[in-house]
Chain A
Amino acid sequence: MVEGYEVVIGLETHAELNTESKIYCSCKNQFGLEVNTQVCPVCMGMPGALPTLNEKVVDYAIKMGHALNCTINPVCKQDRKNYFYPDLPKAYQISQAEVPLCQNGYVDIYVDGEEKRIGITRIHIEEDAGKLLHSDKFSGSLVDLNRCGVPLIEIVSEPDMRSSSEAKAYLETLKSILQYLGICDCKMQEGSIRCDVNVSVHKPGEPFGTRSEMKNVNSFSAAVRGIDYEVNRQIEILKAGGKVEQETRRWDDQKGISVSMRSKEDAQDYRYFPEPDLLTIVVDKERIDALKAEIPELPNKKLIRYIKEYGLSLKEATAISENVDKAGFFDECVNNSNVSPKSVCNWLLGDIAKYENANNISVRDTLLTPSKLVELIKIIDSGKISNAAGKTVFDIIITKDESISDIIESKSLAQISDASALESIADEVLSQNEKSVNDYKNGKTNALGFLVGQCMKASKGKANPSIMKEIIVKKLSE
């Protein structure tokens, strides 16, 4: 609720699929290559060229359908969406109109610890368009057709979200699922995921208000900003006694405003009709089932498992489960070993996350393996090295393929746990700090910490602090 109004949000999310080749030709599906090099007569819309469907695209879309609990339509068509624009060389986009490949699903999202179910209206396959380029070096526009024919799925949600934070959680969840399925690069800066946002507001108890559709939303944070802006804009209009127009607006993230693109009256008539160059898509039950069997445990399930089985906090469980690499790493560490999941979690969200952020890479791109982290945790737990020494080891094994025992030896990191060695250190320190010894005996117990610290210093940090402490307490009470 914002200022007494209920907010209704529905999202249309486009995700580029990371198939080897494009959806209707064998051109490479890769971002960032030299302009107009990944093109052929088919994706350039040359006269007489014909599309042929890349079946991988159907597989990927069905996987997403399964992940979002959709019904998979075993028979569906592809349709032409007709409109003129220079980045669309055929002047129509091959998409799916009437019957999508997947429909009637849902996804559970978590906002502030609360679970919420968002309905999925449909998921359909379609092709991406090219890109217009502008530069000071030339007048007018140039077009790069490399992106033409990059496969997309469009995921349409029900108008089930009630705040921008729900919208963000929904988008984060979709992103995380796409990563788990390995069907999208999810590189926001490359436009792998884009969305159109539908927003309306109404007084509680009244029917939904008139919605506006906002295009050009290119990041999740922009979606939040755009929704908040749009909600306020609509409430202002209603408060002033006005009427919200049904229209398409464009979000300008730099200026932080949305501007009207076209009204309902100017809405384009796309003249959809079945694509006559392509056959009806028919997927048999075996294929649908086989794809379902390939769906891994998804982030939602993991999240709950991490909390229930491993006692992680919601925050920790979310941070690990929403990232497919972290979750995979975590699972590999925890499965088949008896290290504490909490320790693994602390490493993943602590030093490992720090390293990832500093270097802008994933733990999977480092030389650290789950078995090595498990080994390190075990060595620390056993008391062979201190936590501090553990960090020293970590700093090495994240970038170098060296054995942990070699590192401990070459850097002399092993802790002294041998009682007689520790006792002689204690004797020496106690004899040199009579004042503190007396303080302790006179009831100033915090002198103990100082004495243990002195012992650690004398051992150059190698003394096992807990054994050291025991020995000192024992000696002081003699």
Chain B
Amino acid sequence: MELYNLSGYELSRMLKDKKISSVELTESVFSRIDSVEDKIEAYVTLDKENALNKAKEVDDKRAEGKELSKLAGIPIGIKDNISTKGLLTTCSSKMLSNYVPPFNATVMDKLDSMDIVVTGKLNMDEFAMGSSTETSYFKKTKNPFDTTRIPGGSSGGSAAAVSAGEAVMALGSDTGGSIRQPASYCGVVGLKPTYGSVSRFGLVAFASSLDQIGPIGKSVKDTAMLFDAICGYDEKDATSADISHKSCLSNLKADVKGLKIGVPKEYFSKGIDDKVKASVLDAVKLFEENGAEVKEVSLPSTDYALNAYYIISSAEASSNLARYDGVKYGYRAKDYDGLIEMYEKTRSEGFGDEVKRRIMLGTFVLSSGFYDAYYKKAKLLQRRISSEFSDVFSDVDILCAPTVPTTAFKIGENIGDPIKMYATDVCTVTINIAGLPAMSIPCGYDGNGLPIGIQLIADKFNEQTLFNTAECYENLVGGFKSPNL
């Protein structure tokens, strides 16, 4: 087996035991990129030279006998909305097509200190707004399981790169499902951590109260390893939680005996593909057979979550994206007459349709006269949704639901129909609204061989329960499939 196809966990051991060098591994990943990137188009920016230099540096450190982290020397791809000092961070937007951050996101500082190798910056929906990575200004990333299909989004580049072996692991961000949905479509593992457990400093904001950076990996262990590396309190992010994190990898217990699993009935209602529903319920059954207690639960406000999500996220986005005005950085229109025209032209030319749609929606719901009817109501709903989850988690340890109602759709299939596109987020947005941790792991394949994901949801800061349950599943099914590329 080629190195790029192995899990990060295995590679970490091989590196530690000096069975392979980081340079070999990095070269393997880049040769994979050379051979499949034309088909997948996962990357906006590749950083091969620095990656190889870093790999060499790590190998030297290891040769000197220095104590290194588990992730040292492992090639990891970074979603292009996470600030990387000195490396283009475009958010897949024309607006930031020339923007090189002068500082690192906190997660990048952490990963740098752990000596990871950055392969490059991964494609995404523009400013993370989208569910297919089709709104990227630069390119359309393809699903490695079927390159006529979308990889999901907005972290489509991250999920596709990991799935295709173009990165051992990747960082994504999840505002309404942007890690879990592409992970599900691309047959990989993706975690959206509890809001506040990973610093958002340096993550280019879409919706500040919902955004979280999270890991994507080929296996549950990989995802735990990367989550351990990035989580933790950051004084630079006021919303980060000042609590201590124990290593999820070290405490991993692949066991569901006595685990109380809730199956929220609202997640299995209309619009859920039969095959998806069957696969998810099969996985639940497998848990039950292995000692878990399963019961049906209800989260009655789920139906309103999508509306609340699009109101809150668009409201925040309209404010967060106002700074792209052509004054300080990023794109500025060429010809303009006066300040107002510079603003108008810059923003008209610099943003794509989906981003503009959200800015307009968000501006509208915050306008005087409409604030109470929309934003305020959505916030009330958010509180209700949170309390429904609290109630449920007093009764069960974990929830199992589909990650997405269907498998990956064709490129272009939904791009002209925003409502249909937004509906693909129906199972994931509620989790962001409530600030909970959730994970998507592959739980089967449809008739076309496309991956299906099961979403595991836990109470706040209970990532360990997610990892334990997911690891148990991965062991029971004997691991997850890679695409034939």
Interface residues, chain A, with chain B CB atoms under 8 Å away: 41, 44-53, 80, 82, 84, 86, 89-92, 143, 269, 271-273, 276-279
Partner of B201, one of A50, A82, A92, A279: A50
Q: Is B103 an interface residue (CB 8 A)?
A: yes
Give every chain B residue within 8 A of A273 (Cβ-Cβ): 315-316, 319, 366, 371, 375
Q: Is B105 an interface residue (CB 8 A)?
A: yes
Interface residues, chain B, with chain A CB atoms under 8 Å away: 81-83, 89, 91, 96, 99, 101-103, 105, 200-205, 207-209, 235-239, 315-316, 318-319, 322-323, 325, 327-329, 339, 343, 363, 366-368, 371, 375
Partner of A91, one of B89, B91, B208, B322: B322
Q: Is the CB–CB distance between A82 and B101 below 8 Å?
A: no
Complex A-B: 22 CB contacts under 8 Å: A45-B323, A47-B89, A47-B96, A48-B82, A48-B202, A48-B203, A49-B103, A49-B201, A50-B201, A51-B238, A52-B238, A82-B322, A91-B323, A92-B319, A271-B366, A271-B371, A273-B366, A273-B375, A276-B239, A277-B238, A278-B238, A279-B239
CB distance from A24 to the nearest CB of B (A): 9
Q: Is the CB–CB distance between A89 and B101 below 8 Å?
A: no
Q: Is the CB–CB distance between B202 and A271 below 8 Å?
A: no
Give every chain B residue within 8 A of A271 (Cβ-Cβ): 318-319, 363, 366-368, 371
A273 to B368, CA, bound (A): 11
3 shortest A-B CB distances, which residue pairs?
A: A91-B322, A271-B366, A276-B209
A439 to B239, CA, bound (A): 95
Of B83, B327, B367, most A-chain CB atoms within 10 Å: B327
If the complex has contacts A86-B327, A89-B327, A278-B238, are A47 and B322 also in contact, measured as CB distance less than 8 A? Answer: no
Give every chain A residue within 8 A of B99 (Cβ-Cβ): 47
Partner of B366, one of A45, A82, A90: A82
A351 to B111, CA, bound (A): 67
Additional A-B contacts beyond A47-B83, A278-B239 (13; CB < 8 A): A41-B103, A46-B102, A47-B204, A48-B82, A49-B202, A89-B323, A90-B322, A269-B368, A271-B319, A272-B366, A273-B366, A277-B205, A278-B238
CB distance from B151 to the nearest CB of A (A): 24
CB distance from A237 to the nearest CB of B (A): 28
> Which chain B residue shows the least CB distance to A53?
B238
A31 to B143, CA, bound (A): 55
Give every chain B residue within 8 A of A41 (Cβ-Cβ): 101-103
A278 to B235, CA, bound (A): 12
> Which chain B residue shows the least CB distance to A275?
B208
Q: Is the CB–CB distance between A52 and B235 below 8 Å?
A: yes
A90 to B83, CA, bound (A): 17
Give every chain A residue within 8 A of B318 (Cβ-Cβ): 82, 271
Q: Is the CB–CB distance between A50 and B319 below 8 Å?
A: no
Q: Is the CB–CB distance between B237 and A50 below 8 Å?
A: yes
Q: Is the interface of A mostly helix, strand, loop or mixed?
A: loop
Give every chain B residue within 8 A of A278 (Cβ-Cβ): 238-239
Q: Is the CB–CB distance between B236 and A46 below 8 Å?
A: no
Partner of B91, one of A47, A82, A272: A47
If the complex has contacts A48-B105, A86-B327, are A276 and B316 also in contact, measured as CB distance less than 8 A? Answer: yes
Give every chain A residue within 8 A of B91 (Cβ-Cβ): 47
Q: Is the CB–CB distance between A48 and B83 below 8 Å?
A: yes
CB distance from B294 to the nearest CB of A (A): 36
A84 to B319, CA, bound (A): 10
> Which chain A residue shows the least CB distance to B95?
A47
> Which chain B residue shows the least CB distance to A90?
B323
Give every chain B residue within 8 A of A269 (Cβ-Cβ): 367-368
Give every chain A residue within 8 A of B328 (Cβ-Cβ): 44-45, 89
Q: Is the CB–CB distance between A50 and B200 below 8 Å?
A: yes
Of A41, A48, A273, most B-chain CB atoms within 10 Å: A48
A89 to B324, CA, bound (A): 9
Q: Is the CB–CB distance between B322 and A84 below 8 Å?
A: yes
A53 to B235, CA, bound (A): 10
Q: Is the CB–CB distance between B101 and A48 below 8 Å?
A: yes
Partner of B319, one of A49, A53, A82: A82
CB distance from B199 to the nearest CB of A (A): 9
If the complex has contacts A273-B375, A276-B209, A277-B239, are A86 and B339 also in contact, measured as CB distance less than 8 A? Answer: yes
A279 to B82, CA, bound (A): 22
Give every chain A residue within 8 A of B236 (Cβ-Cβ): 50, 52
CB distance from B176 to the nearest CB of A (A): 15
CB distance from A223 to the nearest CB of B (A): 29
Partner of B322, one of A92, A143, A277, A279: A92
Give every chain A residue within 8 A of B329 (Cβ-Cβ): 46-47
A91 to B315, CA, bound (A): 14
Give every chain B residue within 8 A of A82 (Cβ-Cβ): 318-319, 322, 366
Give every chain B residue within 8 A of A143 (Cβ-Cβ): 327
A279 to B323, CA, bound (A): 22
Partner of B238, one of A46, A91, A272, A279: A279
> Which chain A residue shows the least CB distance to B105?
A48
A91 to B202, CA, bound (A): 18
A59 to B207, CA, bound (A): 30
A84 to B368, CA, bound (A): 17
Q: Is the CB–CB distance between A276 and B371 below 8 Å?
A: no
Give every chain A residue within 8 A of B205 (Cβ-Cβ): 47-48, 277
Give every chain A residue within 8 A of B325 (Cβ-Cβ): 84, 86, 91
Give every chain B residue within 8 A of A272 (Cβ-Cβ): 366
Partner of B103, one of A46, A51, A52: A46
A269 to B99, CA, bound (A): 30
Of A47, A278, A279, most B-chain CB atoms within 10 Å: A47
Give every chain A residue within 8 A of B204 (Cβ-Cβ): 47-48
Q: Is the CB–CB distance between B322 and A48 below 8 Å?
A: no
A46 to B91, CA, bound (A): 13
Give every chain A residue within 8 A of B366 (Cβ-Cβ): 82, 271-273
Q: Is the CB–CB distance between A84 and B343 below 8 Å?
A: yes
CB distance from B230 to the nearest CB of A (A): 15
> Which chain B residue shows the least CB distance to A267?
B368
A266 to B315, CA, bound (A): 22
Give every chain B residue within 8 A of A45 (Cβ-Cβ): 323, 328
A297 to B205, CA, bound (A): 47
A91 to B329, CA, bound (A): 13
A470 to B204, CA, bound (A): 90
A45 to B99, CA, bound (A): 14
Of A50, A51, A86, most B-chain CB atoms within 10 Å: A50
Give every chain A residue within 8 A of B375 (Cβ-Cβ): 273
A91 to B83, CA, bound (A): 20
Give every chain B residue within 8 A of A48 (Cβ-Cβ): 81-83, 89, 101, 105, 200-205
> Which chain B residue shows the least CB distance to A273?
B366
A338 to B326, CA, bound (A): 68
CB distance from B169 to the nearest CB of A (A): 21
Q: Is the CB–CB distance between B238 and A47 below 8 Å?
A: no
A269 to B363, CA, bound (A): 10
Give every chain B residue within 8 A of A90 (Cβ-Cβ): 322-323
CB distance from B41 to the nearest CB of A (A): 23
A44 to B237, CA, bound (A): 16
Give every chain B residue within 8 A of A52 (Cβ-Cβ): 235-238
CB distance from B460 to the nearest CB of A (A): 16
A150 to B464, CA, bound (A): 42
CB distance from A107 to the nearest CB of B (A): 31
Give every chain B residue within 8 A of A279 (Cβ-Cβ): 238-239
A46 to B96, CA, bound (A): 11
A358 to B322, CA, bound (A): 50
